[in-house]
A and B are shown apart, each in its own frame.
Chain A
């Protein structure tokens, strides 16, 4: 037997695993009865349903191919966009809004294939200044601004 659509087959298996994990994680919560449902009842129900749906998607991929292909992963945008967001999350409390956004912008601005290098510092500086003025001074959001 051959797999018609590998992408769907794998995604189905991932869903089965997710459903199983949900049931496993929910085994610590009391099931209760249908009359008085405990905190575990609905999660187990949903986990089972997700696993079944995943299995159905995988099985279907053995026979039916809807033509979708995963294609290669575009590592550059994936890593740099997520890297930018993560650096903002990790550095905000230590560095404050201005430096954290400067860094996040500098990282994420490199994610596109048509970077013009002189634009990156200008854009980063301009946008961090803009957000300082609008969000902190204008809207009064409680941000730590500088490292100290």
Chain B
């Protein structure tokens, strides 16, 4: 592994890759700071800009956007009580309370240092566990893969907010949308409504931009009130001895919990930060301090969301299984650059694999060094009103969608998905499982067909193969767990708090 890491650092530390790592981290922090603009939209918008790059540089930059956003999100939560990202919503509670008590500096420092620590641990975890998981995954047969995707989708449903039934329905809808276009096995063009533009299927950038970019803008415009928060000056930055004594354990626990939740399909940064906050409050001898400026309530969720942002790359890089919407976009980005995500990346493209991992550590270092001196700049950027921001996002989205395949039809299709995204939010359906289903649809069908052909049409093959059976049992267990009253209450509470 040491040799691999050295290879990784030699790739990541080239001037070009360092530059893109920095760009990704900066873009990430920027969108983390700005409420209403998230990593999903940013990655989708910047994707066409990466076409000309080396795949390694492109992926290094895109990954930086995701973890960079976790650093940026806390800044506005603490100083303005405006979460830049959903994963920083809980940070508002104690972070902003600390700011009002004149302790914004230590809150910012602890969240940055906690994030950095979590980032280092998570990078190490990826380096340690990916080769192990990858070695197992290369032996997977089609039946195993199909069952693995079932587990992934079930996990996404179980950990999603809101109604289980609705989340499953969204996955199935996504799977169906994934089937649009020419079937590889029979060359039959399916669900194309006679439109030649649909013969190659729906491009995932179009779907992601429509649902998450255009749809989100409409929702934000509808809900937005004129909130002009007052920025609290952050003052002395370094945490006191008492702050440090109080935070180191929450940082450790947040990192552990976040790393675990990032790994799970459907997990991710928002869930990690909420769960870490709830855990600290439960463990604290003085839970009454929470919400009134307890530094533990900043340290734990901020470490957790950054850890989760990074460990969510493990299932992607080793199994080819995206665990959330951002990872689904990364799959798309890899495929555009001609890389099939999965266990073979590690052996076929070790430079890309280890380079990306090493870049995460470098990116985290850049973020922690850059962020503290640049807080003033980020706060000033926040003064850009949303009414000037959203037309820019829309235009860049249009240009980005068009550039993917030089198709104006795709831009129109994205508008339609934007409308769908708005309707889904209005009807209380989560759009994220739809995107996961969409990405996995063709893969699932392919593996289902192959497994069935190999078993001569005997569906029992999924129960005979030990790996497949184990995975299906795991899926069943996950589903059964949601019926337990304790878990049921937990799912609700985590998101209500």
Contact = CB atoms under 8 A, between A and B. Distances in A.
A25 B191 contact: yes
Nearest to A42: B445
Interface in B157-189: 162-163, 165-166, 168-169, 172-173, 175-176, 179, 183, 185-186, 188
A57 B166 contact: yes
Contact of B186 (A39, A49, A114): A39
B138 interface: no
A47 B190 CA distance: 13
**Chain B contact surface mostly:** helix
Contact of A43 (B176, B217, B397): B176
B452 interface: yes
Q: Max chain A CB contacts within 10 Å: which of B168, B176, B388, B444? A: B176
Tier of interface size on chain A = 35 or more
A82 B214 contact: yes
Contact of A50 (B169, B398, B444, B459): B169
B415 interface: yes
A141 interface: yes
A131 B163 contact: no
B473 interface: no
B431 to A, nearest CB: 13
Contacts of B186: 29-30, 38-39
Given A82-B419, A88-B411, A139-B52, A112 B390 contact: yes
Contacts of A25: 190-191
Given A85-B411, A140-B52, A127 B392 contact: yes
Contacts of B457: 33-36
A141 B188 contact: no
Contact of A81 (B185, B218, B412): B218
Given A7-B427, A82-B415, A108-B391, A37 B448 contact: yes
Nearest to B215: A81
Nearest to A33: B457
Contacts of B459: 34
Interface string A15-54: 1001000100110011001111111011100110110011
B426 A53 contact: no
A109 interface: yes
A110 B419 CA distance: 18
A84 B395 CA distance: 9
B203 interface: no
B337 to A, nearest CB: 16
A90 B183 CA distance: 29
Nearest to A70: B426
B43 to A, nearest CB: 16
A56 B224 CA distance: 34
Contacts of A50: 169, 172-173, 176
Contacts of B218: 74, 77-78, 81-82, 111
B418 interface: yes
A4 to B, nearest CB: 14
B307 to A, nearest CB: 31
Contacts of A104: 394-395, 398
B221 interface: yes
Contacts of B224: 112
A46 B179 contact: yes
23 contacts: A25-B191, A29-B186, A29-B190, A34-B457, A34-B459, A50-B169, A50-B176, A54-B169, A68-B427, A73-B426, A74-B222, A78-B419, A81-B214, A81-B218, A81-B394, A85-B394, A85-B418, A89-B415, A90-B412, A105-B391, A108-B391, A114-B387, A123-B392
Q: Which 3 A-B pairs have the closest CB atoms?
A: A35-B457, A89-B411, A68-B428
